[in-house]
Structure 1
């Protein structure tokens, strides 16, 4: 006989200690884009053009391509482990807490210096209109942006959206009007101005060194990884947001420098620290009230402000994440009233103020860029470690293309650019690494007992792995798929159980049943289940002594579906399975590709149930659908009732399920009518005598029962 049984497994409620998931795709785009446009466009073009002449626009163009390996490696790690701390968290879990300390403290210091530099630059532009010292203005701005960050990620990114939209709109206008003016002035947009000397003014060496100089203009692109825990649907939004941001920056950088070359004399550009404003004067100098230049100043202020604001937001997540792992004082992991790491933000702002007051920020920020390149190299290496560790629970929602060549290219590019930056930059990077190592050995080493995924690579060479990482990654998968919790409960409610009490059966017969029932009940393409048979050796893994599960992921499957085959003592299964003594149940789970890891989440819940106390005797002794329901279903997430016994449903008999009201987040998963069970759809009409399976969170089910009881006058 074929019985349909329902079963739901619980999920934890919201964790008050977790950061709120407030960030959308546009927020990811705004943060990445805003972190890139500051000195890279409003300061560096003149310096870069002095080194390579007409080819400066190609230097920006190629630099945009060279950042891609690091960007895609960061995207893969961010979708596999969307946790606060970004680079720190990735390096810690891949290579261990020592490397995590280097990545975390180093990233924090580097971002603090670069963000302080951005605020000083903003103070310089504001100084055109305000009679205040640059440093005082920058300190006031740091405090203001810190306060906004404390109020919440959403509030921070609302400001970021405004700044980035303003910036991009003005820069697009500058580029289009500038290209039009260049065409009118020169009659052509061919990028060659004799005043700049040869196309490659400094030869190939000068061109390559210029690429290294402007490469850091794109470094802010990856800052979003540090707030990945707060991003909605990170599998899609992080890689897509970063890609759109890189495309925007590359186009505006490249075409913007074309405008500069076409409109400004060579000597005017080489010595300029405000090249965009100078170019705007050429085609907008006669506009009323000097509005063209004013708009460029507004864009520059927006650029520096967005870099400083995004910098405070991302930098504060490093000490927060490290504090959760006890690598720095644990108080820094405390969340404030607005679910933001208030103490970490305050510490970041305080250090930033000290940097602005004490150091020559511009010089130190440039040196910190070399450390950022080292981190890019380590992130690329971390992807290779995680892949080669072959941890089953490492399930990135986005994978680096052309693996392993893309990460290898990222390591080579980073090494080459660090060498190009000179002795001082290398020395500064070395000192930062040594300082992080000293902190780890003096403070953190005795507080942690954790190893990275690199030990799983070592395991293949005969050493020990760290199993705690597998459990942590499984927890991350659970967090990433929280939006699918109800989907999970529903798929268990739809699970098809076939009970083989007598006779002999083989795997081909099981696949035949899955093909027939899968197409008729779930609309699954028959070629999907036939593909399982073609694999010849299905992989059934034990989740208890008597139960084995096989998982298959296919893009043609729209919703996860579960097939369960139970074998009685008088039946026999003809399959070549090792250690099959005592085997009584096979399960086959078909899942879609997205979200990544959902199949593992369902498998984990199934294992939790079948390994529960008393499962096996109850499961083997069950003889009816109701009894099977009692065994498989977690009562707190499932309600199996006759429609007439639940007044809120009884009052709506005759309505389609899609029109039912008053159920909240509770879902009608199954309808039993006339001895047959069917999957509930929106157009199924509730009738007298129906028995329904309701699935939902425990609190929602309790609320529904209490509401029905109140309407019946029982309470």
Structure 2
């Protein structure tokens, strides 16, 4: 009937449009030619990606009968779901800090292991009932994809798999900064639609102190002053005195384990941030619990309004439920920086 034909056309059209997003996304990751990510100015659609997807679907329908096409598609879907469970095992097992999924699978690792076993069982059952042709066709597609990766992708990209990261992490005590973590950070920023504001830009270029052993607040202020003095052009002894005077007025420890030392300095348009981590704890006078995270703010009087906004940004970051745990587990200063940059706080306008 006409209604059935219209329904089929509508469903097919939506399927093509949805499927065309994959080549476009792969193109943005340099897995396919860049032309596939181009968007039509008139229609706002990835026209080259749609043409490629449509051509591929027409070729498959022409080369395979409907029954064989369904069998191959079913086998590939089951294999895809199996590999997704494998990916979850590897990503969670690698303990990469910047891997921050919105949803965390419960009963790990038993649930993904059960998923792998179930999908493998279904593939075996399908092969026994439908013959080996669908499985062989699927393997051919996989080999073609592997060949494409070797000839096209690998020469153009520099990426590290989560499996390689996990192996290196197991055999080496030194955890290094990998390209995979940078990639995951960018994915998280894109997913959460994070647009860097002024505070983020300050954090990206700020100094970070990762203190190896317990220290006093006075010694920490001395280290902070030596680090910030050359950055803003003020003598470090003067900065040291300002920090001590500010702490004498009232404690800058705002909650157990967190301090936000902040001072006003002479000058115009002066503002800087410094992050401090001390796993063993910083001893502040009159405070029982040692401080393990400190956000140091320093600014001129004309930046007083932004001073308050920066304090609010830090408060939102520190209120995230797993902030302390991630802060203490961070392996180096760049990981500490990422914790702040990947926070889910509301941002000011990018220019603000």
Superposition TM-score, scaled by structure 1 size = 0.31
The equivalent of 1:369 in structure 2 is 74
Stretches of structure 1 lacking an aligned partner (at least 5 in a row)? 1-127, 130-296, 493-542, 550-564, 574-580, 586-609, 644-666, 672-676, 680-694, 702-715
Correspondence for 1:400? 105
Seen in structure 2, the aligned counterparts of structure 1 residues 372 and 546 have a Cα distance that, compared at 3 Å, is: closer
Q: Please list, as runs of the form range in 1=range in 2, the aligned pairs for 1:134-533 lying within 5 A after superposition.
A: 302=7, 304-305=8-9, 307-337=11-41, 338-422=43-127, 423-462=132-171, 467-482=178-193, 489=199
Q: Secondary structure at the match of 1:403?
A: coil
Are the counterparts in 2 of residues 370 and 425 from structure 1 also a CA contact under 8 Å? yes
1:697 equivalent in structure 2: 349
- 2:24–2:37 Cα contact (<8 Å) kept: yes
The one-character-per-residue Cα deviations of 1:284-328 (angstroms, maximum 9, x if unpaired) are: xxxxxxxxxxxxx66x964x4564234223321222232233332
How much has 1:619 moved relative to structure 2? Answer: 7.4
Write the deviation string for residues 4-58 of structure 1: whole angstroms up to 9, x where unpaired: xxxxxxxxxxxxxxxxxxxxxxxxxxxxxxxxxxxxxxxxxxxxxxxxxxxxxxx
> Which has the higher relative contact order, 1 or 2, with Cα contacts under 8 A spaced 6 or more apart?
1
Report if aligned partners of 1:324, 1:333 keep a CA contact under 8 Å in 2. yes
* 1:359 Cα deviation from its structure 2 partner: 3.6
- Counterpart Cα distance in 2 of 1:376 and 1:467: 27
**Structure 1 contact 355–361 (Cα < 8 Å) conserved:** no
Determine which structure has more spread, i.e. the larger CA radius of gyration: 1
Deviations 1:510-549 (A, max 9, x none): xxxxxxxxxxxxxxxxxxxxxxxxxxxxxxxxx8464669
Q: Take 1:621 and 1:582, find their aligned partners in 2: how far apart are those partners?
A: 10
Check the 8 A contact 1:452/1:466 in 2, yes or no: no
State how many pairs are aligned.
Answer: 257
C-alpha distance in 1 between matches for 2:312 and 2:76: 61
Q: Residues 390, 584 of structure 1: CA spacing in aligned structure 2 closer, same or farther, 3 A cutoff?
A: same
Distance 1:439 1:612 in 2: 53
Q: Distance in 2 between matches of 1:357 and 1:376?
A: 27
- 1:620/1:481 CA distance change after superposition, 3 Å: farther
1:626 aligns with 2:264: yes
SS at match of 1:632: strand
Alpha-carbon deviations, 1:554-590, whole Å to 9, x = none? xxxxxxxxxxx994xxx357xxxxxxx96448xxxxx
Taking the aligned partners of 1:639 and 1:489, their CA distance within structure 2 comes to 16
Does the 8 A contact of 1:419 with 1:426 survive in 2? no
CA distance in 2, matches of 1:678, 1:477: 22
Cα distance between partner residues in 1 of 2:29 and 2:228: 31
Quick check: 1:376–1:414 contact (8 Å CA) kept in 2?
A: yes
Q: 1:357 to 1:546 in 2, by over 3 A?
A: closer
CA root-mean-square deviation = 4.5
Equivalence map 1:23-62=2 (5 Å): none
Q: Deviations over 1:164-190 (max 9, x none)?
A: xxxxxxxxxxxxxxxxxxxxxxxxxxx
Indicate how the Cα distance of structure 1 residues 340 and 572 shifts in structure 2: closer, same or farther if over 3 A, else same. same
Partners of 1:357 and 1:334 lie apart in 2 by 28
Distance 2:138 2:36 in 1: 25
- Equivalent residues of 2:158, 2:179 under 8 A apart: no
**1:398-448 Cα shifts (integer Å, max 9, x gaps):** 101111111111111110111111222222222222222233333333333
Q: CA deviation at 1:343?
A: 1.1
Q: 1:477 to 1:618 in 2, by over 3 A?
A: farther
CA deviations on 1:217-249 (whole Å, 9 max, x unpaired) are xxxxxxxxxxxxxxxxxxxxxxxxxxxxxxxxx
Normalising by the residue count of structure 2, what TM-score does the alignment of the two structures yield? 0.58
Contact 1:418 1:425 in 2 (8 A): no
Alignment of 1:603-622 (within 5 A): 614=231, 621-622=238-239
CA distance in 2, matches of 1:616, 1:345: 56
Q: Partners in 1 of 2:300 and 2:40 — Cα distance?
A: 38
CA change 1:485–1:439 in 2 (3 A) is closer
Per the alignment, in what secondary structure is the counterpart of residue 171 of structure 2? coil
- In 2 relative to 1, CA 311–641 (structure 1 residues): closer, same or farther, beyond 3 Å? same
Q: Which residue is 2:253 aligned to? A: none
Shift of 1:471: 1.2
**Distance change (3 Å), C-alpha of 1:641 and 1:627:** closer
SS at match of 1:447: coil
Question: Residues of 2 paired with 1:390 and 1:616: CA distance?
Answer: 40
CA–CA distance in structure 1, aligned partners of residues 50 and 229 of structure 2:
44
Kept in 2: contact 1:458–1:465 (CA 8 A):
no
Rounded Cα–Cα distance in structure 2 between residues aligned with 1:615 and 1:566: 24
Where does residue 339 of structure 2 map in the other structure?
A: none
